[in-house]
Every structure is written in C-alpha cells, then in structure tokens.
Structure 1
Amino acid sequence: MRRDTAARGAGQGGRWLLPLRLALADLLGESRMTLCSALATAAVLAPLLVLAGLRAGAVEGMRAAVLKDPLAREVMSIASRDFDHAFLAALRARPEVEHLSPRTRQLSASLLLETPDGARQLWAPVVPSAPGDPLLPEGAPAGPGQVVLSTPLAARLGLKAGDALVGRLGRGEREQAPQRLQVALAVQAVAPLAAADRDAVFAAPALADALEDWAEFRTATPEAAGGIPSPAAREGYAGFRLYARRLEDVPPLVTALRAQGVETRSRAQDIAPMLAVDRALTRLLLAVAGVSGLGLVLSLGAGLWANVERKRVLLAGLRLMGLGRGGVMAVPVAQAALIALAGALVAAALALAVQAGINAGFGGIILDRPLSAIDAAILGTGTVLVVAAAVGASALAAWQAARIEPYEAVRGG
C-alpha cells in the first residue's frame, strides 16, 4: 500500500515535493547536526558579509561623495594650442568621454560685466557650455544672448535669473584707435556652487566664439548697439574640457592625452588612491570568499556524503517503494539548500549586529557617514552564493545516492 502511494505521488505534482519533505524531516530528526551545519555555514558567510559591508560603506561612500562633485570627472587642457575639429571629434567619440566642450582663449574671451544701472563692474572669464554639460544640471545657455553665472559672480553683481546685464570687451592695435564692443546679455540661471567656486560666465559656444573672433580681429563690430558679432569659420579651438563617464575613466584619459603631448588638469591624483583601495578590498573579499567557500564546500560535502552512507539502507527502501533516482538524488541537494538558507539567516543576523557595533563605534569618526553599509543587495547576493556553493557541495552526495539500488534495502534488512 505504501508502495502504491509512493508511486502515485511520484507520478504527480508531488514528485519533487516528496524529496523535499523527506529532506526536511531528516534534518529535523537530527536537529543537533543540522544546527551545527547551519552554524558552520553562518561562520563562513558572516565575515564575508561584514567585509562586503565595510567595502560598500567606505569605498562606495567615498565614491558617492566624489560623484556629487561634477568636477571630479573633469579633465581640462591647460596649455593653449590649436586643437582641430578632427582631434576634438575623435576625443569626443571615445567611449570613456561623456561630454566635451571646446574652450576659447581665456584672454580673448573675458568680459567686463556691468549691471544695468552701472553700479557694479567685474571681469569674468567666459566658459563655453554646450547642452549636456555636467556642470550645469539645469541646462546650458539656450541662446547666444543668454548666460549662466557662477554663484560667487552672481552674488558679487547682485543678479539673479531673469536679470539683464551688459558685457564689454575691447580690442586695439598700435596703429588704430581702441575699439569697444558692448553686448546685451540676460541671466538664464545661476549655476550651483559645485560648478564653479570662482567668477565665471557660462555662455553658449556661439557667444564665446564670437567674442574671441572679435577680440582677435577676425570679425567686424556689429552695427546694432548691444548686438553680438557673427562668429567666423574656425579650424579649431585653443583648449577643451571634458567629463569622463566614470571615475575609473579619468586616469586612463589623462594618460592617453599625455601620450599625445596634451597636458591636462584633473583630479586623477585624488581618484587613484580611492580606486586602489577599492581594488585592494575587492581582491581581499574575493580571496577570503574563495578560501572560505572552498572550506564550506569540502566540509558540507563531506557531511552530506557521510549522511548518505549512514542512511543507505533507508534510501534503498525509498527506491524500493517507487522513488526514482532523481528523487533520491534530490534529498541531499534539498538538505544542502535548506542548511545554507538557515546558515544565511543566522549569518545575516550576526553581520547586522556587528555592523551596528561598527557604526556606533566608528561611524562619523573615520568618515562622515556609516562605515559599514550592508544592504538587501549584499544579503541577497551572499545568500544566493552560499546556496549555490551548498548545492555544488551536494553533487558528490547526490551522485552517491543515485548509485543506490532498491535491492540493497532487502540485503540490508
């Protein structure tokens, strides 16, 4: 009767539920050994979770803080030279580059800014800014007559978005009388302090080109008062500023440009130590995980193998009652997965408790944020990996169980 019942269960949806129930019953029947195996698994996983949390809290925290500053990914040429369109196009097309804006000659594109009432005047460099500029999250200047002022400059001039101002620029040669250019401008927005901590006028490339061309006598003064000169056709620019897609892309870009004879200014020296710490912690985490995982696989695999050998007659009896080879193989696999899940829960509780102690003792002292950050992604990844390792460890025991023949139950009896 039992054989018929087992056969019907094996032929229906309970075909794979039966090995799971048998595995769970066996684990509960030997609760002490199950607890020891789960604690051994937790002892392997908990330190890895703590180490992963420290890496996430320290390195990723520093990375997030750096990424808040758009200048962290900036690479700017520092020597004026002729960069033709082909060079800039090739540089812009590099996969590491997110944005590139050409730069005009600073001496030829500095404006004397004046408030409409003439009460305040300040010199400020004109910085070309195209759409997508990371320095201006609210958008680059939309038109030639619109500008975005840096926060310090706007404060010194007492201007805000929507205000008007006048830009003045002079040029002259020894044999000619000095000429003055006056352009009417409108403040489109005020850039955040992170974009520039000094006086700067962010302008559309057309305005920056027009000012440089006029200052270097390549175009004539417009007849209309306050008008903007038409830019002349140009073969290139004196410089550029670009932004890497990732922090990791900054040092290679600086190295590649230096190999082409282009000296740059960037924060590569500040980024490199952080990336080195990240790589070191990653290698340490992988090394510890590899050694610990190997120990877990060997110990858990040996325990499951021994369990199959101890219960060989019982498993043969299940074969005799109609449980197929696949069902018998599933028993040690299910036991390994259940032990790993139990160990993962214990490890998560231990790691979160250790994290609470670390953050209480060191958070805000070494860094201005929690030193450890174990999140759901870390816990989920750790659980998946330890279950996968446990299932892999059960492969030998499953293979041994598959070799058990039904007649062994009769012989063993």
Structure 2
Amino acid sequence: MLPLRLALADLRGELRMTLCQVLAVAAILTPLLVLAGLRAGAVEGMRAAVLEDPLAREVMSLASREFSQDWLAALAARPEVLHLSPRTRQLAATLLLETPDGARQVWAPVVPSSPGDPLLPGGAPVAATQVVLSAPLAARLGLKAGDEVVGRLGRGERGAAPERLRVALTVQEVAPITASDRDAIFAAPALADALEDWSEFRAGMPAEAGAPPRAAPRTGYAGFRLYTKRLEDVPPLVTALRAAGIETRSRAQDIAPMLAIDAALGRLLLAIAAVAGSGLVLSLGAGLWANVERKRGLLAGLRLMGLGRGGVVLMPVAQAAALALAGALLAAGLALAVQAGINAGLGGVLLDRPLSLLGAGTIGRGIGITLLAAIGASALAAWQAARIEPYEAVRGG
C-alpha cells in the first residue's frame, strides 16, 4: 500500500495540476456520455416502443396455398422465430357473432391462436368453445370476459337446402388493442380447423346442439403468421421467404431505416469515442511521463531507501487510475445534469418520451473504459519509472 499512498500524496501535493488533469478527463468524457444518452433516448427509446408492439415483429403469409405440417414445423424451428400459428382460409372461417339476446350481430374473421402467441399476453384459448375477442369487436358487441356469445356459420350446395351451424362460445378474455385494431376472433386451432372443415364440407353437423363440429385430420394449412425474436430478424426472414416464392406482409420496410439509423449512430459514436479516447490517452500519458521525469531524483531516492522497482512502477499507474476515476465521476455528474436540462426543455416536445436516457449501465461502461484507457496511458510513464536506478539519487540525477 505504500506506493499507493505515496502516489495519492503526490497528487494532493500538486492539487492545482491534479484538478486540471481531472477536468481534462471530464471534458473529454462528458460529451461522449451526453451523446450516448441522446442515442439511447432517440433510437433505443424508439426501438423499445416498437418492440412493445408485437405486430412490429409479425410476418404473415399473403396468398393462400398449402403449407404442409412438416414445412410449418421447420419454419417454426428456425432460431429467429419466436412463435408461429397456422392460418386457415379466411373466407372459410369467418363467423357471425351474436349476443345471446340476438340484439347485436357482427361478422368477424377467426384467427387461430396457440399458447405463446405474443398478441395475447393473457393466454391463447385452449378449449374449442372459448374465444378471445379483439377490443373493437368486444366493444361493438358489448361483451367482456366471462360472457356467453353465439357463433353462426352457414353453408350450402347448389340444389340443396342451406345448412346453419350454431356454436355456443365463451369469451375467455378481451385482447389488448395492440393485438388488433379490427374485429377479430382469436380461437384455438381446434375450433378454427373445425369451422373451416365444416364450411368446406369436410365435416358434418355436430350431434350435440351448440357444440363445434369435429375437425378432420389435417395435412397442412393455407397460411401462417409468425413473430420473430428480435426486430433485426424481420427483414432477413422476409427476404428468405420471398426467395422461396412466399409473399408476406410485415413492417420490414419501416424497420430497415430505423436499424440503419441505429447502426450509423453507433458507428459515429464509436468514431468520436475513438478520437476522444486517443486524445485522452496522449494527454494523460504525456502528463504522467513528464511528472516522472520531473521527479526522477525523488523516485531514485525512494529506490535508495528500499522501495522496489515494482513500487516505483505502480505509482504512475495508481495516479492514472485515480485521475481517471475522479474525472469519470465528474463527467457522469455533468452528463446527468445536462440530461436533466435536455429532457426538461425538449423531452415530450420532439418525442413523447425523454430525449436522453443515460442509464447506470452506460455510465458504468464509460467509467470502466476510461480507467482502462488511463492505465494504458500510464504505460510509458511506468516504463520510464522502471528504468530509474537507486544510484541516480547519490549522483544527484
């Protein structure tokens, strides 16, 4: 601990010079932290808002075609896919919902949903007689969770009397508005399959009134909707599906510019940090080297009194770390003060959230990188100190 105490005592002995070096470190690091906070607020905040909307990560097939069970399973197993739900033919699975008193009726498409569906944080329907209604549809029908509702569907062949299907359903939950801003009935795959099979004459009338028909064994589906794990996964997945001849609907065109801006800002911040960091290393390194040269005689005297070579080497390293830590803490305080001013003046004006978001993680990384850079900057001074020999104090060197 002796070299550390001597290093800190030396800094206290030349307090003005020490304060100048601390301010120099803070002057370099403060703008970088402010820029990092602005990037986090403007881009990462936008990114987080988009990620909160699962529809931003949705990829849905357009044209109806036969997708086999094995092909869909392989698509769902891709590492970038979080969830996949097969889709039935929309025209064959559009249901007329009716309140028990018959006062309100609304046609709405049936959307198959399985457990883990990001659109339904409260859980997808499990039983074939349970449905989750979109918020607009529930409002139009005046329904809430736990209410009963009747589903009606008709079919007919030329020259034959039309048949009417009536299914008694229970509203399991009302989906959040983020799930769909249109009328939609989220149903278990068993119900969606049964309705499509009945509509296309692959299933007969159920034996029990109000019960859904029995679905026939399936070999595939007409479409799918899937959700990626990350926002960055949407554009390449859409490109891969298009290369396979599958047209999809997604927000890839909206996501790509945001990702490009994020990457460009990241590269710009990295370039600025590299230039500023180089200046910090050169400035701090030159100051420490000059300090060792200026006090070469005193360091030689310490060697003569028994301080080892390692102790002398440790002194400029300890001083560099102390200066960097003090400067980084000052920079963090200044950056937080600037952030408060930016958010007070512009937050909620340019964006509907804080314009600058400087978190503890960013500050911690900034302090850590500054410490490493300062220790690296002390290498020349440490090397110079290692060359000091005890006899230099005797000859007055």
Match of 2:221 in 1: 237
Match of 1:66 among 50, 72, 88: 50
Look up the equivalent residue of 2:20 and give its one-letter code.
C
Deviation per residue, 1:320-374 (Å, 9 max, x gap): 2222121111100000001101111221222122222322322112111111111
Match of 2:162 in 1: 178
CA distance in 1, matches of 2:302, 2:73: 72
Return 5+ residue gaps in structure 2 as ranges.
Answer: none
| 1:51 aligns to 2:31 (yes or no) | no
Match of 1:9 in 2: none
SS at match of 2:49: helix
Match of 1:152 in 2: 136
Q: CA deviation at 1:317?
A: 1.4
| 1:254 aligns to 2:238 (yes or no) | yes
Look up the equivalent residue of 2:185 and give its one-letter code.
V
CA distance in 2, matches of 1:119, 1:368: 41
Match of 1:295 among 276, 279, 286: 279
Match of 2:188 in 1: 204
SS at match of 1:118: coil
Match of 2:356 in 1: 372
Q: CA deviation at 1:147?
A: 0.4
CA distance in 2, matches of 1:185, 1:349: 59
Match of 1:132 in 2: 116
| Superposed CA RMSD | 1.2
| 1:264 aligns to 2:241 (yes or no) | no
Taking the TM superposition and a 5 Å limit, the aligned residue runs for 1:68-147 are 68-147=52-131
Q: CA deviation at 1:197?
A: 0.8
CA distance in 1, matches of 2:364, 2:208: 67
Look up the equivalent residue of 2:233 and give its one-letter code.
D
Match of 1:227 in 2: 211
Match of 1:347 in 2: 331
Look up the equivalent residue of 2:30 and give its one-letter code.
A
Match of 1:165 in 2: 149
Q: CA deviation at 1:144?
A: 0.7
Match of 2:266 in 1: 282
Match of 1:411 in 2: 395
Look up the equivalent residue of 2:321 and give its one-letter code.
A
CA distance in 2, matches of 1:222, 1:233: 16
The two structures have a TM-score, normalised by structure 1, of 0.94
Match of 1:329 in 2: 313
Taking the TM superposition and a 5 Å limit, the aligned residue runs for 1:21-36 are 21-36=5-20
CA distance in 1, matches of 2:310, 2:61: 66
Look up the equivalent residue of 1:130 and give its one-letter code.
S
Deviation per residue, 1:275-315 (Å, 9 max, x gap): 12211111111000111111111111111111111111211
Look up the equivalent residue of 2:265 and give its one-letter code.
L
Look up the equivalent residue of 2:198 and give its one-letter code.
W
Runs of 4+ in 1 over 3 A off after TM superposition: none
CA distance in 2, matches of 1:136, 1:368: 26
Deviation per residue, 1:167-207 (Å, 9 max, x gap): 11111221432222111111111111111111110000011
CA distance in 1, matches of 2:372, 2:328: 12
Higher mean C-alpha displacement, 287-296 vs 322-331: 322-331
SS at match of 2:86: strand
Look up the equivalent residue of 2:191 and give its one-letter code.
L
Q: State, as a whole percentage, how many aligned pairs show the same letter.
A: 78
CA distance in 1, matches of 2:296, 2:65: 82
Match of 2:343 among 355, 359, 378: 359
Look up the equivalent residue of 2:252 and give its one-letter code.
A
Match of 1:382 among 360, 366, 379: 366
| 1:316 aligns to 2:328 (yes or no) | no
CA distance in 2, matches of 1:186, 1:348: 56
Deviation per residue, 1:18-72 (Å, 9 max, x gap): 1111111111111122111111111110110010000011111111211222211
Look up the equivalent residue of 1:114 and give its one-letter code.
E
Look up the equivalent residue of 2:131 and give its one-letter code.
V
CA distance in 2, matches of 1:250, 1:23: 55
Deviation per residue, 1:358-412 (Å, 9 max, x gap): 2232211211111111122221111111111000111121122112222222122
Match of 2:171 among 187, 199, 210: 187
Match of 2:375 among 383, 386, 391: 391
Q: CA deviation at 1:259?
A: 1.1
Look up the equivalent residue of 2:173 and give its one-letter code.
A
